[in-house]
Chains A and B, each alone.
Chain A
Amino acid sequence: MATEAPPPQSPEDGSPVQPTTEAFLAAQHSAEFAELRRSHRSFAFPLTVGFIAWYLLYVLLSSYADGFMSKIVFANFNVAFVFGLAQFATTFLIAWFYSRHATNKLDPQAAAIKSRLEADA
């Protein structure tokens, strides 16, 4: 459907080499790409659903569960405060967890497919 070419690839503007559409189609259907896609989606999608649910739980409790949120945990810290700090902690933790997965699992698989495709192009 698309009639226009992808961004220009002329060597004078320093654009990277582009494999052909056929090469991309072949790569997309290869087993190793299916594995990369699975590694990304099976990690990122459930994690996204999880942290959004965890955040919404926090928003809903803040709106509708006053009694629970105002219970004192220790000193002047109540459940709401600890819950809020827990959102910070889980955000940092999920960022670290995803980055570790990406570095260990996704990057090597992506690099292998990329170098093969660019070598053939």
Chain B
Amino acid sequence: MSAAYASHTLTQLAASSSTTEHRPLIITLFAVFVAATLGITVWAGRQTKSASDFYAGGRQFTAFQNGLAVSGDYMSAASFLGIAGAIALFGYDGFLYSIGFLVAWLVALLLVAEPLRNSGRYTMGDVLAYRMRQRPVRTAAGVSTIVVSIFYLLAQMAGAGVLVALLLGITSDAGKILIVALVGVLMILYVTIGGMKGTTWVQMVKAVLLIAGALLMTLMVLWKFDFNISDLLGTAAEKSGHGAAFLEPGLKYGVTDVSKLDFISLGIALVLGTAGLPHILIRFYTVPTAKAARKSVNWAIGIIGAFYLMTIALGFGAAALIGPEEIKAKNPAGNAAAPQLAEYLGGVGTTGGAIMLAVISAVAFATILAVVAGLTLASSSSFAHDIYANVIRKGKATEKEEMRAARWATVAIGVVSIGLGAMARDLNVAGLVALAFAVAASANLPTILYSLFWKRFTTQGALWSIYGGLASSVFLVLFSPVVSGKASSMFPDVDFAWFPLENPGLISIPLGFLLGWVGSVLSKEEPDKGKYAELEVKSLTGTGAH
């Protein structure tokens, strides 16, 4: 969601190019990261022989390793730059995001991670289609996986292109398109060569870098305030110009009745979306057992929770030490707050400041690349395993053919997202990421929960909830202020927005659940009792799990 902030105003940032003098250092650090991760990818690629290696990293990662990788997949650069910036400018309201993003993990822990690990093999579609007629449900699961991932991917690509362009001081359109293309080529290489194994290691490296970077900055901020957090908050409130209101809810979302409803809609989409994000779900297949999947969620909750707690110090620290004027001068949405804070902490105009800025910028870049690779893997896996192997080839494709399809799908998805990313580089990323979470919560989560826990769920119910949730969320966004009618819309010059909320979750999530239920109740087909017995016993006991 926080990619939100990384969006439509980043371009303006590119204009201010005080960063250009640090360009050689930043480029060197980027290059080191790219070289190191490509090395890991090639090494992982040598060990990737079977489909299980390619899709699930051989299922041999430990719970801690996967917990780190899950955290890496989840904490996007936008989360780092966006939440810090939102807190720096809107105070308490920025912090609200962190809470939704974290609490959401409990849905995954209590209801989804273990049953999914036990009953699926490579994709989300494995579980959704288990009890159902394979071809229609696999197709639906594949479509939904690819749609969610592409929206998420697009937001990251657009943000990446502009962010990197900004940090390198590139302002021309051609230069930005080139950067988007470079990110696209790198992600194709990571995924086609390294598969899940390579991607998982890239996520781990990134998670460690991100946590280390955030921790270093947090400690430096707290040091400036003698570790007195109340003092930090007080100074931030004073410098913000809002006084005590800066520490209270409402600066961003409390303006009107509609914005309050929008916040509730967003809150629901956040908390229910995570457990329906395909790129997160397939990570649970990389560990050997459901117990390890549970432990990896616990690690992820610890790591992600700690990270979001640190964003409080970073955001309020930026407000207190730099102040809103200077932050807005660099970027009206606050996206530059974290790099600005890094430079301030190292000493503006000194070598220390330049090094801190370069390091934190490189961390942000690493973060984007890793998330993008994870998303590409999720969508190409689903294409190859759900649509190619099970729908087109009706389950008769060999492992070799399936992996070849996955690699070609990766190239295709990479090329498509380079194209869309280049076109979308000036679009409002907020709508895209919000849409990804809302679609995941509306289309995927109801279907996953009904499949696992409701014995009367049928093929028709599954199709209604997937396509209904998918269509209603996309449809509502199309007619929302995200797309038209406001200065920040994708098409600011026209106005066909009759749906007032930017996030469709409030309507589309209940609708997804309702359609799954109605579709099942109205269907003439008897639920397959034998298949449900297999799924239920497998999901709770791990009998016959891959």
Q: Which of B247, B295, B529 contacts A80 (CB 8 A)?
A: B247
- Give the complex CA separation of A90 and B76 in angstroms: 24
- Give the complex CA separation of A96 and B264 in angstroms: 27
Q: Inside 8 A of B121's CB, which chain A residues have their CB?
A: 7
Q: Number of residues in B with C-beta < 8 Å to the partner?
A: 77
Chain A residue nearest in CB terms to B264: A59
- Give the complex CA separation of A121 and B234 in angstroms: 66
Q: Inside 8 A of A13's CB, which chain B residues have their CB?
A: 50, 399
- Give the complex CA separation of A67 and B529 in angstroms: 54
Q: Does B514 contact A (CB under 8 A)?
A: no
Shortest A24–chain B CB gap in Å is: 4
Chain B interface, DSSP helix/strand/loop, else mixed? helix
Could you tell me if A2 and B533 are in contact, using CB atoms closer than 8 angstroms?
A: no
Could you tell me if B301 and A87 are in contact, using CB atoms closer than 8 angstroms?
A: no
Q: Which of B263, B541, B544 contacts A59 (CB 8 A)?
A: B263
In chain B, positions 410-465 with a C-beta closer than 8 Å to chain A are 453, 459
| Residues of B near any A CB (own CB < 8 A) | 50, 52, 92, 95-96, 99-100, 102-103, 105-107, 109-111, 114, 121, 126, 130-134, 230-231, 233-234, 237, 244-245, 247-250, 253-254, 260, 263-264, 267-268, 271, 291, 294-295, 297-298, 301-302, 305, 308-309, 390, 394-395, 399, 453, 459, 525-526, 528-534, 536-538, 540-546
In chain A, positions 1-48 with a C-beta closer than 8 Å to chain B are 1-7, 13-19, 21-22, 24-25, 27-28, 33, 36-37, 40-41, 44, 47-48
Q: Determine which residue in B121, B295, B528, B542 has the highest number of CB atoms from chain A within 10 A of its CB, and name it.
A: B542
Q: Knowing A1-B459, A3-B134 are in contact, say whether A66-B103 is a contact too (CB < 8 A).
A: no
Shortest B542–chain A CB gap in Å is: 6
Could you tell me if A91 and B106 are in contact, using CB atoms closer than 8 angstroms?
A: yes
Shortest A81–chain B CB gap in Å is: 6
Q: Determine which residue in B121, B231, B248, B542 has the highest number of CB atoms from chain A within 10 A of its CB, and name it.
A: B248
Could you tell me if A63 and B248 are in contact, using CB atoms closer than 8 angstroms?
A: no
Shortest A53–chain B CB gap in Å is: 11
- Give the complex CA separation of A63 and B268 in angstroms: 13
- Give the complex CA separation of A2 and B530 in angstroms: 10
Q: Does A104 contact B (CB under 8 A)?
A: no
Chain A residue nearest in CB terms to B118: A110
Q: Inside 8 A of A69's CB, which chain B residues have their CB?
A: 248-249
Could you tell me if A117 and B110 are in contact, using CB atoms closer than 8 angstroms?
A: no
Q: Knowing A81-B247, A91-B305 are in contact, say whether A117-B530 is a contact too (CB < 8 A).
A: no
